[in-house]
Chains A and B, each alone.
Chain A
């Protein structure tokens, strides 16, 4: 086990993959058991955030920039869908 800077970066990358995937699973558990509607919306929002993190880590792992558009689009879709869920609970309608 060597600790050259490049190896250290690879270990950190593998750890980040593992921990982000674990966080995604924990968010799924909260989505499953969540007692109230707000908890489920929050779990879905956290899952979108973690998915962005996983795509960014995949871009670092493969050394490409082509995943940038995917992260931006998923960020926008996650924001809009979370607001839509919350507005549906609050107002009973999304666009009035």
Chain B
């Protein structure tokens, strides 16, 4: 009784969540202006959208009477590989200079221990 009423509602809920995130990701991929901002939208489809679809598939296997948790493997794989993929695409964006680059660092001659300023040399000699 509980399985026949609660499980289809849960499947419908997870399908709707996945549907929403997949659609938002596609709109973001199509409508945003900059290359880097376009990058951030579809990474949600890879994790939340497909994750919800796969959880719905797990619940549907329980509803069918053949429980299996295989889909959690795909969820784990996508969760591990999505940041790596996004990082590589961001590196391509930086490499082709298709996004705003940060300002070059100001020239600082007192970096680290190679070029110690005079004030610090006095302190170091006192010790």
Contact = CB atoms under 8 A, between A and B. Distances in A.
A9 B11 contact: yes
Given A35-B98, A45-B42, A79-B85, A19 B22 contact: yes
Given A63-B64, A83-B85, A89-B92, A57 B53 contact: yes
B66 interface: yes
A10 B64 CA distance: 14
B: interface residue count bin: 35 or more
Interface in A36-93: 36-39, 41-43, 45-46, 49-50, 52-53, 56-57, 59-60, 63, 65, 68, 71-72, 75-76, 79, 82-83, 86-87, 89-90
A16 B91 contact: no
Interface string A1-41: 00001101101110110011011001101100001111101
Contact of B42 (A8, A22, A49, A53): A49
User: Interface on chain A toward B: helix, strand, loop, or mixed SS?
Assistant: helix
A35 B34 CA distance: 10
Contacts, number: 164
Nearest to A36: B98
A68 B9 contact: no
A72 B89 contact: no
Contact of A30 (B11, B30, B89, B92): B30
B125 interface: no
Interface string B19-59: 10011011101100001001100100110011001101100
Given A5-B6, A12-B11, A19-B23, 11 more contacts: A5-B9, A9-B11, A20-B19, A37-B92, A38-B98, A42-B89, A45-B89, A49-B78, A52-B50, A56-B50, A83-B84
